[in-house]
């Protein structure tokens, strides 16, 4: 498959009722040339990668329909979503309520002999028949469609069990002796052996149908809740926007009409229509929908803003930089969708079992019937045990175990600004023992700030900062900008009369008649200006603390030193402690000198430092740690971190970093807060733990329930209730992930 011709589609699938259905569709799609597909029962979608030069997308839909299910291309789905949506569970709810109302009298008559009257079984037949034929119709229809295609699914088992009980009852009533006055239907938790040959099972047929409908209804409702986070995320975007025309006029248009470069207005309380750059105005933006952080972010001219964030303050004029599928919101939604569509390694065994589950169960039911008849048991007992085997088996729980946990976990992560790229990431979070942290922009803010001004004896601090701030304002160097920014906050800066940049050393110029030299002490030495013992001591102390020191002199004498540092993020120390609590060994990795790196490490509580590493060498450091037997996570934000993020067993990128770093990582922390790294690993581990709990329950349930049914210890009614409960319990367990709390907030 050529990369240039490869395209990807998400096909919504209708008609799947269990994991066997998903496996069948997946096999059918993967038989097509140039197609690789994964079908997710929980999300009811097929994630398909195909060679556009070899196959048309319509062929994918045809393949799904040929398997007996329905599919739609994304454009058709999008059009459908624009229409008002009714409750999709309403028909199922109606079918459940009516079936329950009809089944209840049948069950009561069966369980309470004093209420039985002559020929009451005929009333039971009239009540049970609509349940069996209409209430269970979705199962019969799906079973027939599968039979036409030569396959069997969970619906086949249900349909066989319900119809067998009903047809046996018809035989007993019309041909046997069960229709005679006084004959009683039997009901017990354990079917009797050696009972009458013509017992009837109308209560089994109707109540089992009701239980399974109830299970399907609660399962469907829980699955919708599981995917609610992603639906809410997709609904966050603004629907229309006030566009500013070239003549300054305003007009309201749908967001879909925005193009890159369009200027639009964001009033207080409105959502930002799309990603852009602020051109006019200042305000505070509520970024919680993207980052999970509740504190508003101050923005002004030149600030980048993301679509769907809420303007909590003043009026803003924004120029669009990204629209449609290129926006941050769309990319986050795409990451979450991809994560939910994938399959974790722990799901593969469940998929293989689900693929052969139904034929094996049918074989076991037939074997159960034959075994008991061959051992002299009554036909009633043998029939009851066989029907119980058919009904209690449940591949649905196996199919739901992984995807529902992924849906809830990744959806909750999106709400908190923690984006899991795919299900295979979860296994890595469990095994990681070492976390390598890039310093600049990850542990520190990545923004240089003036931390100290030390004037020489007889000099005034304010005057030194005013003169030096003026000449540094003419430079683009990050250190110069930090000094200029601090000086500007204390008052207006004088004009610079002349300016020269000395590459790698500093700057020279004239301000208010003073000839200034600002930069490394070596640059001042070239002008015969040397630091006094007091200034040199201040320089050494600042460098010991990890700061970068700039010296300034004018009129032939060194006058002051300025300490500039990349400040540590407020949450970094707490984040390192949280990572340690997860059993991880933190390692600081940086290209800075060992003194600066050591000072930062000491401040946040990291004991191991690897300093003075070139950008190209970061991946090699990660590889070396892996070679020593460690499973390594890497946290970074810059372009130079991308190779190391890709090399690591688990890559975590800060959403405040570059697109390249985000693309190379496995987990993205939208907020840029290092504390979110610990939250992301905790959530991933919790999701993996939930998947394993679900699979353990699903496997254990079937391993225990089928033998119990086969030896005659379970009535079909109890079997139906247990089968319905098994699927609901798996989804309910996954929904507990919605209560995941971040370390802070």
Active site residues: 438
Six-digit token string for 74: 């994304």
Six-digit token string for 33: 């040339």
- Residue 190 and residue 709: Cα distance in Å, rounded? 10
User: Cα angle vertex 375, ends 382, 380, to 5°?
Assistant: 20
- Residue 8 and residue 25: Cα distance in Å, rounded? 17
Distances (CA, A) of 506 to 225, 456, 543, 548, 549: 60, 20, 18, 13, 12
Please answer whether residues 512 and 467 qualify as being in contact, where contact means their C-beta atoms are separated by less than 8 angstroms.
Answer: yes
Residue 488 phi, psi dihedral angles, 5° rounding: -65, -25
> 3-state SS string over 174-221?
HCCCCCCCCCCCCCCCCCCCCCCCCCCCHHHHHHHHHHHHHHHHHHHH
- Residue 542 and residue 535: Cα distance in Å, rounded? 11
Q: Is the dihedral of CA 680, 684, 689, 690 positive or negative?
A: positive
Beta-strand relationship, 585-589 and 434-438: parallel
- Residue 71 and residue 90: Cα distance in Å, rounded? 21
Q: How many CB atoms lie within 10 A of CB 313?
A: 16
- Residue 678 and residue 688: Cα distance in Å, rounded? 15
Q: What is the dihedral of CA 90, 92, 95, 99, to 10 degrees?
A: -130
On the CB side of 199, how many CA atoms lie within 13 Å of its CA?
23
| Beta strand residue intervals within 290-423, DSSP E | 297-299, 304-305, 310-311, 316-322, 418-420
Residues 6+ apart with CB under 8 A from 364: 389, 393, 706, 710
Six-digit token string for 598: 């050591």
Distances (CA, A) of 643 to 140, 412, 631: 55, 29, 16
Would you give the DSSP letter of residue 302? Answer: T
* Cβ-based burial of 726 (10 A; exposed 0-12, middle 13-18, buried ≥19): buried
Residue 192 phi, psi dihedral angles, 5° rounding: -75, 145
Range 180-197 burial, b when 16+ CB lie within 10 A, else e: eeebebbbeeebebebbe
What residues pair up with 420 in beta bridges, in sequence order? 667
* Cβ-based burial of 738 (10 A; exposed 0-12, middle 13-18, buried ≥19): middle
Q: How far is it between the farthest Cα atoms of the chain?
A: 123
- Residue 29 and residue 42: Cα distance in Å, rounded? 18
Please answer whether residues 212 and 205 qualify as being in contact, where contact means their C-beta atoms are separated by less than 8 angstroms.
Answer: no
């Amino acid at each position: 498959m050529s990369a240039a011709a490869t395209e990807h589609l998400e096909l919504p699938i209708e008609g799947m009722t269990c994991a066997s259905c998903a496996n069948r569709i997946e096999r059918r799609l993967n038989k097509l040339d140039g197609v690789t597909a994964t079908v997710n029962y929980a999300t009811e979608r097929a994630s398909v990668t195909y060679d556009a030069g070899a196959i048309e997308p319509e062929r994918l839909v045809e393949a799904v329909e040929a398997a007996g299910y329905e599919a739609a291309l994304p454009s058709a789905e999008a059009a459908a979503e624009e229409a008002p949506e009714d409750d999709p569970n309403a028909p199922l709810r109606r079918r459940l309520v009516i079936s329950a109302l009809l089944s209840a009298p049948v069950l009561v008559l069966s369980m309470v002999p004093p209420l039985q009257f002559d020929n009451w079984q005929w009333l039971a037949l009239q009540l049970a028949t609509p349940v069996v034929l209409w209430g269970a119709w979705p199962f019969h229809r799906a079973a027939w469609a599968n039979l036409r295609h030569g396959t069997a699914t969970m619906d086949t088992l249900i349909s066989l069990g319900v119809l067998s009980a009903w047809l046996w009852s018809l035989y007993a009533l019309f041909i046997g002796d069960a229709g005679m006055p006084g004959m009683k239907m039997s009901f017990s938790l354990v079917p009797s052996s050696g009972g009458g040959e013509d017992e009837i099972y109308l209560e089994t047929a109707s109540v089992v149908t009701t239980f399974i409908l109830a299970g399907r209804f609660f399962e469907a409702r829980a699955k919708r809740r599981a995917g609610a986070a992603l639906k809410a995320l997709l609904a966050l975007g603004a629907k229309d926007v006030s566009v500013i025309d070239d003549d300054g006029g305003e007009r309201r248009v749908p967001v879909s009409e925005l193009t890159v470069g369009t200027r639009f207005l964001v009033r207080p309380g409105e959502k930002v229509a799309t990603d852009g750059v602020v051109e006019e105005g200042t305000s505070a933006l509520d970024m919680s929908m993207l980052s999970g952080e509740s504190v508003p972010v101050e923005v002004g001219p030149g600030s980048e803003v993301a679509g769907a964030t809420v303007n909590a303050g003043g009026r803003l004029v924004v120029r669009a930089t990204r629209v449609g599928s290129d926006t941050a919101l769309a990319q986050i939604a795409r990451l979450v969708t991809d994560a939910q569509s994938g399959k974790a390694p722990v799901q593969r065994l469940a998929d293989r079992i689900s693929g052969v589950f139904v034929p094996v169960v049918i074989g076991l039911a037939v074997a159960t019937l034959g075994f008991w008849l061959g051992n002299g048991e009554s036909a009633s007992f043998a029939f009851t045990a066989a029907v119980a085997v058919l009904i209690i088996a449940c591949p649905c729980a196996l199919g739901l175990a992984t995807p529902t946990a992924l849906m809830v976990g990744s959806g909750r992560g999106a709400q908190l600004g923690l984006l899991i790229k795919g299900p295979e990431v979860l296994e890595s979070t469990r095994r990681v023992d070492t976390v390598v942290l890039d310093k600049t922009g990850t542990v520190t803010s990545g923004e240089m700030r003036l931390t100290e001004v030390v004037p020489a004896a007889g000099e005034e601090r304010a005057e030194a900062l005013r003169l030096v701030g003026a000449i540094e304002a003419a430079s683009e160097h990050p250190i110069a900008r930090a000094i200029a920014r601090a000086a500007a906050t204390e008052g207006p800066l004088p004009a610079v009369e002349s300016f020269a940049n000395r590459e790698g050393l500093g700057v020279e110029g004239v301000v208010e008649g003073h000839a200034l030299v600002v930069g490394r002490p070596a640059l001042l030495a070239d002008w015969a200006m040397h630091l006094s013992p007091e200034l040199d001591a201040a320089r050494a102390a600042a460098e010991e603390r990890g700061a970068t020191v700039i010296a300034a002199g004018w009129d032939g004498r060194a006058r002051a030193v300025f300490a500039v540092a990349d400040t540590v993020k407020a949450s970094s120390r707490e984040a390192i402690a949280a990572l340690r609590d997860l059993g991880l060994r933190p390692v600081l990795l940086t290209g800075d000198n060992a003194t600066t790196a050591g000072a930062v490490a000491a401040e946040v509580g990291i004991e191991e430092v690897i300093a003075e590493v070139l950008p190209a060498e970061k991946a090699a450091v990660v590889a070396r740690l892996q070679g020593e037997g460690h499973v390594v996570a890497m946290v970074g934000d810059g372009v130079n971190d991308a190779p190391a993020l890709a090399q690591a067993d688990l890559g975590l990128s800060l959403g405040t970093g570059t697109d390249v770093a985000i693309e190379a990582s496995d987990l993205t922390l939208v907020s840029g807060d290092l504390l979110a790294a610990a939250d992301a690993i905790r959530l991933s581990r919790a999701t993996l733990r939930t998947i394993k709990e679900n699979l353990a329950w699903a496997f254990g349930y079937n391993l225990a329930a089928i033998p119990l049914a086969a030896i005659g210890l379970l009535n079909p009614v109890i079997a139906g209730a247990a089968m319905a409960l098994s699927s609901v319990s798996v989804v309910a367990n996954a929904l507990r992930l919605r209560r995941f709390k971040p370390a802070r907030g």
